[in-house]
Amino acid sequence: MKVLACYSIKGGVGKTASAVNLAYWAAKSGYRTLLLDLDSQGASSFYFRVKSPVKKNWGKRLLKAYGEVLKQVKESDYKNLDVVPAHLSFRNFDILLDEIGKRKNRLSQALKGLKKEYDLIILDCPPTISRLAENIFNASDIVLVPVIPTTLSERTFEQLLKFFKQQDYSRKKLLPFFTMADGRKQLHRETATAMRKRYKYFLKHAIPYSTDVEKMGKYRAPIDIFARGRLANKSYFALWKEIESKLEG
């Protein structure tokens, strides 16, 4: 079982859209996939039409034992793809982590028990650099970082790199890729070129700026369901294939 996190310090960079579409393609490629929506806003749960559990404090339970995670699993409409929906209590992960002990491998422990049922866990992460983030970095084999090719995003990516260095996490876990890339904008083109030059490990495939990504909210489904032939869909598929080769490599 591999764990893939979709993570960025910055919000609104296409984390959830990426988590949802990549989870969809992974499942379609035959991986038994679980999408764990750790963002209390629950956007990826929304796209898959699954609802938050009603139980209180389930965030705490999630971090305690995988049995609790399994109880919250909802089967999506797509073969091989299950979802653990987000919960409002996920806002307080950091407080919870303080309560139950400051260990950085809580999440990793909770996910271990899922390996019998799943080949791939995708974490849709909240935009925060905190104790939860550290749990996520510990639990993940790959941390996917969506980056909009703008100056601001470049800065946040650098912050993340710095954090990884300070905390002594392996840089190799990080796999950045461009999202919302708009080829018509000079800034996007220049930033992308510069960043690719500096960080050779950027993924080759990028996700273009597209209204089809935005339409996911309207259709409440992965792009392949409502815009099969469109560029955004093809880009996500190509991105998935590139990630798959890294997972297996």
Partner 1 sequence: MTSATYWKFTTAVTPAEIEQALPKKLRCRVLEKSSRGLIVLDDFHWHIWQSGGLLTADPQQGLLNLSIAKEIPTVPYSPENRFWWQLPSGALSDHLRELLDLHAFVPKAECRLISEPLAIINSDEKIVTRVKLLTLNGENLPSSTFAEISPLRGYGDDYTVTLQALSLLSSVEVESFDLRTLLLAGGLHIDPPDEKDSFLLNPAEPAEAAICKMAKRMLVTARQYEQGIVEDIDTEFVHQYRVNIRKSRSLISLFKKTLSSERLQALKTELKVLGSRTNDLRDLDVFLLDEDYYREMLPAELQTGMTQVFTRIKRRRTMALKKVVASLQDDAYQAEVDHLFELFDTEPDWLSKQSQMPIQQLVAKKVLAQYQRICANGDIIDEQTPDEAVHDLRIECKKLRYLLELFSELFGKKKVKQLIRHLKGLQDNLGRFNDFSVQREFLSGLGIGKTISAEQLASINGLTAVLFNKQLHERSLVVANIDKFTAPGVRDEFQQIFALSDEESS
Q: Which of residues 67-126 bind partner 1 (CB under 8 A)?
A: 72-75, 77, 82
Kindly write out the interface string for residues 165-204 of this chain, putting x where it contacts partner 1 by CB under 8 A and - elsewhere: ----------------------------------------
Interface with partner 1, residue 48, by CB under 8 A: yes
Spatial separation of the C-alpha atoms in residues 34 and 36, rounded to whole Å: 6
| Residue nearer to partner 1 on the CB measure, 70 or 175 | 70
Considering the complex, state which of residue 50 and residue 203 has its C-beta at the smaller distance from partner 1: 50
Nearest CA to 122 out of 231, 29, 196 is that of 29
User: In the bound complex, what is the minimum distance in angstroms from residue 51's beta carbon to partner 1?
Assistant: 7
Region binding partner 1 by CB under 8 A among candidate stretches 45-53, 179-187, 204-212, 227-235: 45-53
Q: What is the dihedral of CA 214, 215, 217, 218, to 10 degrees?
A: 150
Q: Is 51 in the site for partner 1 (CB under 8 A)?
A: yes
What is the footprint of partner 1 within residues 210-249 (CB under 8 A)?
220
Cα 113 to Cα 65: distance, rounded to the nearest angstrom: 8
Which among 3-11, 43-51, 145-153, 208-216 is the span making contact with partner 1, rule CB under 8 A?
43-51
Kindly tell me the number of DSSP H helices and DSSP E strands found in the chain: 13, 7
Specify the residue, 174 or 223, whose C-beta has the smaller distance to partner 1. 223
At 51, list the tokens: 């609802």
CB of 196 closer than 8 Å to CB of 206: no
Residues whose CB is less than 8 angstroms from the CB of residue 156 and which lie 6 or more positions away in sequence, other chains included: 8, 9, 10
Q: Phi and psi of 44, rounded to 5°?
A: -70, -35
Which spans of this chain sit near partner 1 (rule: CB under 8 A)?
Answer: 48-51, 72-75, 77, 82, 220
